[in-house]
Structure 1
Amino acid sequence: MKTHLQLRNLTKNLEQRVAERTAKLDNALRELQEFQVQLVKQEKMSVLGQLVTGIAHEINNPVSCIYGNLGHAFIYFQNMINLINLYQHHYPEPIAQIQNEITAMDLEYISSDLPNMISSMREGIQRIRDISSSLRIFSRADTENKVKCNIHEGIDSTLLILKHRLKGSENCPPIEIIKNYGDLPLIECFPGQLNQVFMNLLANAIDAIEESNTGRSIDEIQENSHQIVIQTILNTNKNFVVIKIKDNGLGMSDEIQKKIFDHLFTTKAVGKGTGLGLSIAQQIIVQKHQGSLNVNSIIGKGSEFTITIPTE
């Protein structure tokens, strides 16, 4: 017969084993959920990347045609203006019908304005070409192995995609982007996933700045200009690249900073945040690139996210 003490010890052992097994199952379930979310996210990004790449390619063809033809159109126009000037020089007194037509069309104004119009059209087309190029850079598909890429190209393409959120509005001044880029070599990484990290961090920085405007007048907002500072440097041994993204937005408490990378944790209102962006960003940096992603924040002063990844 087992004694009462033996039975109690046996019960404690069983309870401890059950608690340990339960903890292991909870961890396994949490890891499985995170893995499933990451798979879904990666699949969505892959499909989206293919779609965006296809659209960018389709946009590029007609845009290149227009851009090239605008140059010829400008030359043709200049040639015709030169011919008209030559006619006016040798035949300074045109017949009444021609003079009336010149007056009606305001030839002098057209001659001065059309070059400016063509120049503006070329700038607009160049803008579309830049966006198309940035979409291709941002959405490039990742291979099974890391490839060498230009980190700054990825950041710049992300900024261009987010430009509509940086421009500001009547009630909100534009957000100034300050780039302090170091002299970086090509970095071995998964560029598509790294661009996703840049997108999440920069979008969160913009959100934090916009949230800091709540309840403030336009004059109060303009007293302190909105800024996002992006810095890239190599560490002393040149075996790690450090990327810092700093905003002067709302900031976070110490308690929130401890949870900010947790799965499904968000401080945003319902429907505005999923709690996945920063969690997935950390997984990409830590698990895929063997690096680190940290945050340092002060309420009312802003936040700084620091990415550290090996150069090879």
Structure 2
Amino acid sequence: MNLESLNSSVILIVDDNPANLDVLSDFLDSAGFEVLVAQDGESALDKVYYAPPDLILLDIMMPGIDGFETCKRLKSDPKTIDIPVIFTSALADTVDKVKGLSIGAVDYITKPFQQEEVLARVRLHLKLHFLTQQLAQQNVLLEERVRERTAELNQALEDLQKAQVQLVQSEKMSSLGQLVAGVAHEINNPVNFIFGNLVHANEYTQNILDILQLYQDKYPDPGAEIQDTIEDFELDFLVEDLPKLLQSMQVGAERIREIVLSLRKFSRIDEAELKPVEIHDGIDTTLMILHNRIKAKSSRPEIEIVKHYGNLPEVECYSGQLNQVFMNLLSNAIDALEDDRDSGRPGRIVVQTSCIGDNQIEISISDTGMGMEESVRSQIFNPFFTTKPIGKGTGMGLAISYSIVADKHNGSLECRSQPGQGTEFVMRIPIRQNVRTSNSPQVQTA
């Protein structure tokens, strides 16, 4: 900002004394300013609203509304609040000066005044006024740039999350296929190896635990490094859980053949293409794989599974991926019932299927758990959103499920839930896919 731009400013002089008006207007006009004049407050307000000036020199003692009231009205209007006002008055009391400044004036010049002083103050407050306007404009531009940058970053984050969901989906299906293929071809060798070595593993483990216990008895105060390692590895938990783990392996080895056969059916490696399948077979196989989580435990009774199967035709789908959706939804239902085991409500999962119209089926999976608030329900399909503790949930299962249903099968996946009333997931997919989608799902979130 330069002096020339300041001198081209518009100044309104308000004074009921014609002599003062003439002197000030001539002096400021000769200094290069565009000058407007008014002899009372009412006419001054009219001029301001008609052609807002850059600065106002305002007398206090005037007929009609005085300068104080005129200033109050200017400062109460958003259109004129930012125009700087300098009082010019013969009232020299401190009380009058404080009053003028308190109602919004930027300065106070006492009459009789020196022309050079008036010019200096006018230029100072014009400069401050223009700098303030420039700062406000810069703030607006900065806020706009921040909003634009934030929007770009949010879009980049959303794109990254979608890409991660796709990668996780591909990796899960690839890993599952490799696992089933390997176990299916080498079933006899692993089973023999496990059965032949579990007895020795139990014996060796117990020997190691006995030695460890002896060390703890003889050296009850280990060094800091050993103590930190014990805490990091949760030694007490390992000692308690390791025998249980080996026992579970013993039980699991006896069921390997049955589970592998079911897992082959669940993953449907040989049916990766879109083809008609029995939906109920996929649900039943998934429930069988989850049997260990459904059966009674010391902390809760067995979860009741209620099936209301409708008369469904074969459905054209990617059966392996659709079975993964069943796995995610049923696992979440089991998690909800386990979290709600102290409420006294019966643990029940209800699976219902039915035909909707000529070319659509509906699959409902509901539980009698604690339900969820709307703030949670509205986000559950978002990638990486989870209500589970750190290390237990990744926030990917439902996002992947939504992608499989909506993008791969042209269907819909909806969650219905209220606190204390359980949760229901309702899936709808076409019986026949009229439009063949690509093998790589495009992820969307609800």
- Same fold, judged at TM 0.5 (above): yes
Q: Contact 2:165 / 2:399 at 8 angstroms: preserved in 1?
A: no
Amino acid at match of 2:183: I
Aligned to 2:315: 187
Aligned-pair CA distance for 1:24: 3.8
| Equivalent position to 1:300, from 420, 428, 431 | 420
- Residue 175 in structure 1 maps to residue 294 in structure 2: no
Aligned to 1:311: 431
CA shift digits 1:37-69 (9 cap, x unpaired)? 321332133122221233145438999xxxxxx
Q: Contact 2:272 / 2:319 at 8 angstroms: preserved in 1?
A: no
TM-score norm. by structure 1 comes to 0.68
Q: Contact 1:50 / 1:141 at 8 angstroms: preserved in 2?
A: no
- Rounded Cα–Cα distance in structure 2 between residues aligned with 1:161 and 1:144: 20
| Equivalent position to 1:135, from 249, 252, 263 | 263
Aligned to 2:391: 271
Local SS of the residue matching 2:311: coil
**Greater relative contact order, per chain length (Cα 8 Å cut-off, separation 6+):** 1
CA shift digits 1:64-99 (9 cap, x unpaired)? xxxxxxxxxxxxxxxxxxxxxxxxxxxxxxxxxxxx
Local SS of the residue matching 2:393: coil
Aligned to 1:23: 151
Aligned to 2:351: 230
Aligned to 1:251: 371
TM-score norm. by structure 2 comes to 0.49
- Rounded Cα–Cα distance in structure 2 between residues aligned with 1:41 and 1:62: 28
Q: Contact 1:251 / 1:301 at 8 angstroms: preserved in 2?
A: yes
Aligned-pair CA distance for 1:301: 2.3
Q: Contact 1:142 / 1:192 at 8 angstroms: preserved in 2?
A: no
Aligned to 2:362: 242
In the TM superposition, 1:71-110 aligns within 5 A as none
Aligned-pair CA distance for 1:181: 1.1
In the TM superposition, 1:126-165 aligns within 5 A as 130-141=258-269, 145-165=273-293
Local SS of the residue matching 2:301: coil
Aligned-pair CA distance for 1:130: 4.3
- Rounded Cα–Cα distance in structure 1 between residues aligned with 2:320 and 2:284: 14
CA shift digits 1:222-281 (9 cap, x unpaired)? xx432110011110x221111100111121111111111122111111211111111111
Aligned-pair CA distance for 1:31: 1.9
- Rounded Cα–Cα distance in structure 1 between residues aligned with 2:265 and 2:170: 17
Local SS of the residue matching 1:178: strand
Q: Contact 1:57 / 1:132 at 8 angstroms: preserved in 2?
A: no
Q: Contact 2:349 / 2:368 at 8 angstroms: preserved in 1?
A: yes
Is the deviation greater in 170-179 or in 25-34?
25-34
Instruction: Provide closer, same or farther for how the CA distance between residues 33 and 168 of structure 1 changes in structure 2, counting only shifts above 3 A.
Output: same
Provide runs of 4+ in structure 1 moved above 4 Å. Answer: 1-15, 60-63, 125-130, 142-145
Amino acid at match of 1:193: Q
- Rounded Cα–Cα distance in structure 2 between residues aligned with 1:145 and 1:21: 42
Instruction: Provide closer, same or farther for how the CA distance between residues 127 and 48 of structure 1 changes in structure 2, counting only shifts above 3 A.
Output: closer
Instruction: Provide closer, same or farther for how the CA distance between residues 231 and 53 of structure 1 changes in structure 2, counting only shifts above 3 A.
Output: farther
Aligned to 1:288: 408
Is the deviation greater in 196-205 or in 37-46?
37-46
- The structure with the largest helix share of the pair is 1
Q: Contact 1:178 / 1:229 at 8 angstroms: preserved in 2?
A: yes
Structure 1: which 5+ residue stretches go unaligned? 64-124
- Rounded Cα–Cα distance in structure 1 between residues aligned with 2:323 and 2:255: 21
Aligned-pair CA distance for 1:185: 1.5
- Rounded Cα–Cα distance in structure 2 between residues aligned with 1:289 and 1:270: 32
Aligned-pair CA distance for 1:129: 5.3
- Rounded Cα–Cα distance in structure 2 between residues aligned with 1:253 and 1:309: 27
Aligned-pair CA distance for 1:307: 0.6
Aligned positions, number: 243
Structure 1 or 2, whichever has the larger Rg, is 2
Percent identity over the alignment is 52
